[in-house]
A = this chain, B = another copy of it.
Amino acid sequence: METPSFLRRLFGNRDKAGGPAGETLALCRKLLSERGEASGATLARETLAAWRRLDGTGRGEFFNALVREYSPSPEAVMRAAEAYRTGPDPATLAQLQSVVEPLRQELFRRLNTAPEGTATLVAMRRELLTRLEEHPEWAVIDADLLHLFRSWFNRGFLRLERIDWRTSANVLEKLIEYEAVHEIKGWDDLRRRLQSDRRCFAFFHPALPDEPLIFIEVALTRELATRIAPLIDLAVPVEDPERATHAMFYSITNCQVGLRGVSFGNFLIKQVAEDLQRRHPKLKTFATLSPLPGFARWLKGARERLGADLAPLDTPGWHEAKDAAVLGERLSALGAYYLLHAKRGSDPLDPVARFHLGNGAALERINTLADLSAAGLKRSAGLLVNYVYRLKDIETNHEAFVKEHRVIAAGAVEKLARDCPLAASSAEA
């Protein structure tokens, strides 16, 4: 295979079996050869074992070689493209696809045949992602892994499982480790979140049986929850789930860094809503209680335009001060304004808003003084938001959001935003 000239330039001559990654790379070459076919999963296992033994330097060298040795040759691509243009038929198309697909993908498919292959490849991408900023040329490897993972972790291959106190400790300890929204402080904390008035569901893939890919935590309640404490405090009494009318999604966590970019949340939230609806026909409202993770940072930038109104925020413990309610109202209005008008491109700046609105939910309500944990105050100045999933509106909401970048919000939220002092000034970019 011809090496693209830019790659030659970038990396100079290839390492001659030398360097710490030499053994791993030699095994990779063998795995892609004829001998590799015969030895099946055995050679794949050895290759991954060699890779795992590499330190950071060795892995860096390994990634460099993957870029250098296994990228498509521009000249061959041109020839195949020209052949397809001249005579577009199944054979020229097949040849084109074969030339364009980096040999890395076949390498990864063969590595995947080893025991624990999938887990190791996911770990490989996790490492790659943490170092990608320093090595932008590795993006081609990332693209190949992401392409494969999107195919392998297709919704059709995932199992939705309920997590409760009967679940293996092996899996449960991962919830404690991974939970990203409202920290789980230990086993007692976890148990409260798994009692009969709570639900937790996760997607699993058969090749990673002990690893949740994503999980969601739900409280079954009798009204729209507007504060987080009543949902996660240990002391809150357990309610009868059969009397619940609201399913409150109060936390959703992607677990695997190595699967970043493979989207599970949309599928998860909808299937959980459907399943809960079927088993608990009394449930009428499916809503989230969500953070605004970008709010605090945005607010910092906005404060110069706001005068002294928010000065008390700088005092630690402001949320317990006498005038907390007044400050809370101001934050409400700013939160509404932030969600409706702060943008990244045409979409909301806030990533959680992008996620739920992109899924077809509507922005229902802003709650102030709603998350008084240290993380909640720091992240969202204590605000939490309710997004509502109305099954019949999901498609049209989603379409309005994707095509027209329109945020579907309750009238009250829109009014709050209009009342915000920033609304008077010019519209935000």
Tier of interface size on chain A: 35 or more
Task: Check A395–B39 contact: CB distance below 8 A.
Answer: yes
Establish whether residues B270 and A399, one from each chain, have CB atoms under 8 Å apart when the complex forms. no
Q: Is A308 positioned at the interface, with any CB of B under 8 Å from its CB?
A: no
16 extra interface residue pairs, beta carbon distance < 8 Å, beyond A35-B399, A41-B271, A157-B206: A4-B88, A6-B87, A34-B399, A35-B395, A37-B398, A38-B359, A39-B395, A40-B270, A41-B267, A94-B143, A112-B155, A148-B151, A152-B152, A166-B170, A168-B168, A169-B187
Interface code A328-369, partner B: CB below 8 Å = 1, 0 otherwise?
000000000000000000000000000000111000000000
* A130 at interface, CB cutoff 8 A: no
Which of B40, B101, B187 is in CB contact (< 8 Å) with A266? B40
Of B100, B139, B170, B402, which is within 8 A of A34 by CB? B402
Secondary structure at chain A's binding surface: helix, strand, loop or mixed? Answer: helix
The residues of B that contact A271 with a CB separation of less than 8 Å are: 40-41
The digit string for A245-281, where 1 denotes a CB below 8 A from any CB of B, is 0000000000000000000001100110000000000
Chosen A-B contacts, 23 in total, with CB atoms closer than 8 Å, are A6-B87, A7-B88, A34-B398, A34-B399, A38-B397, A40-B155, A40-B267, A72-B93, A72-B96, A75-B85, A77-B81, A77-B85, A78-B85, A93-B140, A94-B139, A97-B100, A97-B147, A112-B154, A151-B151, A157-B157, A157-B206, A165-B170, A169-B169
A186 at the B interface (CB under 8 A): yes
**A167 near B: Cβ within 8 Å?**
yes
- The contact string, 1 if C-beta is below 8 Å from chain B, for chain A 168-211, is 11101100000000000011000100000000000000110010
Which residues of chain B are within 8 angstroms of A148 by Cβ–Cβ distance?
151
Q: Is A109's beta carbon under 8 Å from chain B?
A: yes
| Given the contacts A100-B100, A168-B166, A394-B39, A82 and B90 also touching, CB distance less than 8 Å | no
Residues A113 and B165 in contact in the complex (CB < 8 Å), given A7-B88, A88-B4, A394-B39? no
Instruction: Answer yes or no: A379 CB below 8 A from chain B CBs.
Output: no
